[in-house]
Amino acid sequence: MSASAEVFPPGRTIGIVGGGQLGRMSAMAAARLGYRVHILNTAATSPAIEVAASATIGSYDDPDTLKAFAEKCDVVTFEFENVSAEGLALLEHYRPVRPSGAILQVSQDRILEKTRLAKAGVALAPWLVINGPEDLEKLPDFGFPVILKTTRFGYDGKGQFRVANAEELSELADLPYPLVAEKKIDFARELSVMVARGLDGQVRCFDTVENRHRDGILDITLAPAPIEPALAYEAQNMATKIAEELALVGLMGVEMFHAFDGTLLVNEIAPRPHNSGHWTMNACLVDQFEMHIRAVTGLPLPPATRHSDAIMHNLIGPDDMARVPSILAAEGAALHLYGKNDARVGRKMGHVNTIFPKGALPGELALSSILPK
Ligand code: ADP
Ligand code: MG
């Protein structure tokens, strides 16, 4: 099936599958360009529904729900990746879907994802498929330490088992097979690139950034990453290669490790706006959400130029919400809240972008005073 090349100008309706904060910020960017947004979500209220024109409520895999949703939209995109293959096929039957269902299927499954990334010619952490307990016997030869990851539905470090040695391996029971075993990489930094590719094949990469995690959840993003220009460029080249290999139409986050031995390894891809691109909202004229909307509607993609440096800091429930009053009073800090009522432990409630003149991102020592905990 050849993909649709139709352009959807402002005034048309964009369908977004998923109702979370990524959908909310995409809908706000779409509204700024004069689009209407229709959300598909399982619950009747959600961060995205609150800012969208309308919504269909129902299961992501129910054929009647998907049909009702698609009929309300001109073009369909995602903020949530885990729609079944059957659901994706149905959506594609009714409307152009960007990025394609095929790309979503790749990103949903770590085995498919690694296979396609290897085909794109990018380097990955050494990996092995573990189909059942008998395959665990391969691990001592493969080498410890390893990280076992579920092949599907992982996020914020969930569905991962870290195994330091054979003794720890022998203590594991009832693992959720299939799994992917990955060598634990000794990395200097985690980097990511947001890459957009338009209907005409135009590729735009935002600057390479550094991501730091806390308790498996993204904590801060430094934009730009404090690295050599050649490495930042190599990361953008890798992201471009992947976007082209997958024939992406839309936006994609590419997570990478910069290993201590100097190599750049791709960790995973997310074909949608990504938490590590939130800094663009206050440091770029066109942010990741507008770039996403432009790519899926077929509008031109402007250069992903950064006009300022930025530190993005996630606000995680419940403790970080206490910082909101001081953030509101601070200079140079742009607050984004997602409108979630229930500040559960580990829940992403919002983020704050602290902005600096270009080239003036504070060094490591100053960072700690800017980001009090
Ligand atoms: P998720 O889907 O939860 O984001 P990731 O595969 O990105 O899953 O893993 C979450 C985090 O765990 C990464 O950002 C990184 O900090 C760490 N991690 C994952 N894989 C490895 C690895 N092979 N070596 C070292 N650290 C890893
Ligand atoms: Mg990840």
The average pLDDT across 279-308 equals 98
Distances (CA, A) of 37 to 57, 68, 98: 14, 15, 15
Residue reference for tokens 């022998």:
170
Identify whether the C-beta of residue 290 lies closer than 8 Å to the C-beta of residue 270.
no
In tens, the pLDDT along 138-185 reads: 999 999 999 999 999 888 889 999 999 999 999 998 999 999 999 999
Ligand minimally distant from the alpha carbon of residue 151:
1
Angstrom distance (rounded) from CA 99 to CA 77: 7
Question: Is ligand 1 within 6 A of the CB of residue 249?
Answer: no
32 C-alpha to ligand 1 centroid (Å): 35
- For residue 366, give every residue at least 6 positions away whose Cβ sits within 8 Å of its Cβ, in sequence order, or none: none
Angstrom distance (rounded) from CA 184 to CA 175: 19
Enclosing H/E stretch for 31:
helix 21-32
For the CA of 186, the closest atom of ligand 1 is: 25
**Nearest alpha carbon, ligand 1 atom 1:** 155
Residue 157 is classified by DSSP as T
Q: Evaluate whether 13-97 and 187-370 have a shared fold.
A: no
Q: Can you identify the CATH homologous superfamily of domain 126-183?
A: ATP-grasp fold, A domain (3.30.1490.20)
Residue reference for tokens 């003149």:
357
In tens, the pLDDT along 333-370 reads: 999 999 999 999 999 999 999 999 999 998 887 887 77
Angstrom distance (rounded) from CA 21 to CA 23: 5
In tens, the pLDDT along 221-270 reads: 999 999 999 999 999 999 999 999 999 999 999 999 999 999 999 999 99
119 C-alpha to ligand 2 centroid (Å): 20
CATH class of the 187-370 domain in this structure: alpha beta
Ligand minimally distant from the alpha carbon of residue 219:
1
The binding site for ATP consists of 110, 149, 154-160, 182-185, 190, 213, 267-268
Identify whether the C-beta of residue 56 lies closer than 8 Å to the C-beta of residue 38.
yes
**Residues 310, 249, 200, 244: is their CA dihedral positive or negative?**
positive
Angstrom distance (rounded) from CA 55 to CA 359: 42
- For residue 321, give every residue at least 6 positions away whose Cβ sits within 8 Å of its Cβ, in sequence order, or none: 315, 343, 349
265 C-alpha to ligand 2 centroid (Å): 13
Residue reference for tokens 């550094």:
210
For the CA of 211, the closest atom of ligand 1 is: 14
| % of the chain with per-residue pLDDT over 70 | 99
Per-domain boundaries in the chain: 13-97, 126-183, 187-370
Buried b (16+ CB within 10 A) or exposed e, 129-146: bbeeeebbeebeeeeeeb
Identify whether the C-beta of residue 92 lies closer than 8 Å to the C-beta of residue 1.
yes
Is this model's pTM higher than 0.80 or not? yes
In tens, the pLDDT along 78-128 reads: 999 889 999 999 999 999 999 999 999 999 999 999 999 999 999 999 999
The residue length of the chain stands at 373
Question: According to the model, what pLDDT value does residue 1 have?
Answer: 44
Give ipTM to 2 decimals.
0.98
Instruction: List the one residue out of 279, 309, 302 whose CA is nearest residue 205.
Output: 302
In this structure, whether the domain defined by 13-97 belongs to CATH 3.40.50.20 is answered with: yes
| CA 130 from centre of chain | 25
End-to-end CA distance of the chain: 52
